[in-house]
Homo-oligomer: A and B are copies of this chain.
Amino acid sequence: MRIRPVKIDTFRENIIFLRKDSEFCRTQGVSSLTKVELSYNGKTLVGLLNAVDEPFLAKGEVGLCEYAFEKFDLPAGTEVKIRHMDPVRSVDLVRKKIHGEILDEDDYLQIIKDVVENRYSKVELTAFVVACAQGPMERDEVVYLAKAMVDVGDKIKWDSEMVVDKHCIGGIPGNRTTMIVVPIVAAYGLIIPKTSSRSITSPAGTADTMDVLCNVNVKLEEMKSIVAKEKGCLVWGGAFSLAPADDIIISVERPLSIDAQGQMVASILSKKKAAGSTHILIDIPVGKSAKVTSPLQASQLKKLFEYVASKMGLFVDVIITDGSEPIGNGIGPLLEVIDVMKVLKMENDAPKDLLEKGVELAGRIIEFDPKVKGGEGRAIAEGILKSGKAYEKMLSIIEAQGKKPEKKLGKLTLEVTSHKNGRIVEFDNKKIATCAKLAGAPEDQGAGIYILKKIGEKVKKDEPYMIIYAEEQADFDYAKEYLEKHREMVVIE
């Protein structure tokens, strides 16, 4: 059979198309749940078979969806062998997990290996994710899962003994501290090769925000040379094959909006380990509408991070922060860039909370340096920021990654005004995020929300307390409609 790409986007599921009248389908009694293995010179690809009766496949052709064709990485027309895939043994382990059993180190390795080789269908993958999400995972199981995720992917090696990193578990709009922490820490002199994700469900990820300023799609060698020169970088992690199982797992977690503690910890720490980090600051925001809603839950999560990290040979410092409202004023890529640049330039109207948090986190990371005493980090970080060295460092990093032309904010704007005299008492982070997304963020870089008043601030009747920005009329209308239905996203009393 000759392979050919079929340009159907199946979102990370290997689909293999065969004609219904092909010899394979006729003689092998194929149902549409059949998984097949294609092979060529020892290279194999497995996928779910879809039998087709459409003229797009010629006789003797086997079609590969875009994702599978890229994975297989062979030219169209390559003659391959096709056969039934052997049963995926590790699915038996998933079944054990569903029935409440505890799996061991080798079990997790087998499962994750099969996941990365795309031997799992979406159904099996979901079963694994839900089984791990429902019954709490033993903390050693989280270690096994994290180690397995590191083992099956690429690993980055650095020449330095200490490579620092930070991670926020997310859920707070704005909160673009990474872009303040990295230039401060790099200016101090620690190695901080930051890889970030794009937004999964939020109005902007750090990679989306940095993308406004410069190129973030950087190859490994390029990143290494940037870090050699600048000590730090701010690139998109998706370009590397670090803990690739995680991306596949996310492809089912995302539509389900599941974010189980065990999987989250394994996901974060495996990516950091694979990226070669040694010392990591973890930020857990706590608030009514944050991912973590109670101090008790935050404390449990902190201990889990600490336990798993120690077993993986990672040093972590876990910090629990205020997640009651957005951090900074801007929500959306360009709006967040504006905030970050104001902080780095120490402008008078720079958002105080973002500045304070950025300095605090940078200080904690600087304290990873054995030369720095506990409690001294903050002052050092503040000094670097005030000296303008952090801003200079940011400009150098932007230049090194490849500066982009300046962007403009969305032209469609709505000033949201208060219905009464009062005081801002509460934000619903999730609803604020949804509204900013409906306005077009992060795809439209100039879209989002700019907050004018934060918790505790007074607001007069008819005074605006936030502004919605959009680039497209349809998005603008969606956001306005959502706002009208959910005015409680900002509570004024």
List residues of A whose CB falls within 8 A of some B CB: 6-11, 17, 20, 27, 29, 31-33, 50-56, 91, 94-95, 98-100, 121-124, 126-127, 129-131, 133-135, 252, 254-258, 443, 474
State the CA gap A474–B474 with chains docked (Å): 59
Task: Kindly report which residue of chain B lies nearest to residue A256, judged by CB atoms.
Answer: B127
Instruction: Check if B256 sits within 8 Å of A123, measured CB to CB.
Output: yes
Least distance between A257 CB and chain B CB atoms (Å):
7
- Whether A134 lies near B99 (C-beta < 8 A) is yes
Known contacts A10-B50, A53-B7: does B135 contact A130 (CB below 8 Å)?
no
Kindly name the residue among A17, A32, A124 whose own CB sees the greatest number of chain B CB atoms within 10 A.
A32
Q: Which of B7, B31, B255, B258 contacts A54 (CB 8 A)?
A: B7
A16 to B: closest C-beta gap in Å: 12
Q: Which B residues touch A130, using CB under 8 A?
A: 98, 126-127, 130-131, 134
Min C-beta distance of A28 to chain B, whole Å: 8
Decide: A9 and B127 in contact? CB cutoff 8 A: no
**Contacts of A99 on B, CB cut-off 8 Å?**
134
Determine if A52 and B255 form an interchain contact, defined as CB atoms under 8 angstroms apart.
no
B54 touches A6 (CB 8 A): yes
A134 engages B98 (CB within 8 Å): yes
A122 CA / B129 CA spacing, docked (Å):
14
Instruction: Assess the A255–B134 pair: CB atoms within 8 A.
Output: no
Q: Which residues of chain B are within 8 angstroms of A98 by Cβ–Cβ distance?
A: 130, 133-134, 258
Q: Is the CB of B134 within 8 A of A100?
A: yes
Does the CB pair A8–B122 fall under 8 Å?
no
Taking a contact as CB atoms under 8 Å apart, the answer to whether B32 and A11 are in contact is yes
A450 to chain B, nearest CB (A): 22
Bound together, the chains give a CA A76 to CA B367 distance in angstroms of 68
> B residues within 8 A CB of A8?
17, 50-54
Which of A254, A256, A443 has the largest count of B CB atoms less than 10 A from its CB? A256
**Stoichiometry (number of copies):** 2
Look across to chain B and name the residue whose beta carbon is closest to the beta carbon of A8.
Answer: B52
Is the CB–CB distance between A11 and B27 below 8 Å? no
- The 8 Å CB contact of A7, one of B33, B52, B256, is B52
- CB-CB nearest in chain B for A66: B53
| CA A9 to CA B124, docked complex, whole Å | 19
Whole-angstrom distance between the Cβ of A4 and the nearest chain B Cβ: 10
A50 CB contact (under 8 Å) in B9, B52, B56: B9
Contacts of A17 in B (CB 8 A): 8
A-B contacts, 13 listed (Cβ < 8 Å): A6-B54, A7-B53, A8-B54, A10-B32, A10-B50, A54-B56, A95-B257, A99-B134, A123-B126, A127-B130, A127-B256, A130-B131, A131-B134
With a cutoff of 8 Å between Cβ atoms, the chain B residues found around residue A56 in the complex are: 54-56
Tell whether, in the assembled complex, residue B134 and residue A254 are in contact, meaning their CB atoms are under 8 Å apart: no
Smallest CB separation, A33 vs chain B (Å)? 5
Closest to A475 in B: B29
| A122 pairs with B122, CB closer than 8 A | yes
Q: Which residues of chain B are near A51, meaning CB under 8 Å?
A: 8-9
Do A255 and B95 contact each other (CB < 8 Å), given the known contacts A8-B50, A443-B29?
A: no
Complex alpha-carbon distance, A17 and B65, angstroms: 13
List, in ascending order, chain B residues with CB within 8 A of A29's CB.
Answer: 443
User: How far is it, in angstroms, between the C-alpha of A21 and the C-alpha of B174 when the chains are bound?
Assistant: 33
CA distance in complex: A127, B95 (Å): 13
Which 4 A-B pairs rank lowest in CB-CB distance, beginning with the nearest? Answer: A7-B53, A11-B32, A126-B126, A130-B130
A256 to B53, CA, bound (A): 28
Measured between beta carbons, the chain B residues less than 8 angstroms from A27 are 474
When chains A and B are docked, how far (Å) is the Cα of A95 from the Cα of B255? 11
A255-B10 CB under 8 A given contacts A55-B56, A134-B130: no
In whole angstroms, what is the CA distance A27 to B99 when docked? 45
State the CA gap A443–B11 with chains docked (Å). 33
The one of B6, B9, B10, B135 in contact with A134, judged by C-beta atoms closer than 8 angstroms, is B135
- For residue A454, give the distance in angstroms from its CB to the closest CB of chain B: 30
CB of A91, distance to nearest CB on chain B (Å): 7
Residues of the B chain whose Cβ atoms lie less than 8 Å from the Cβ of A33? 11, 254-255
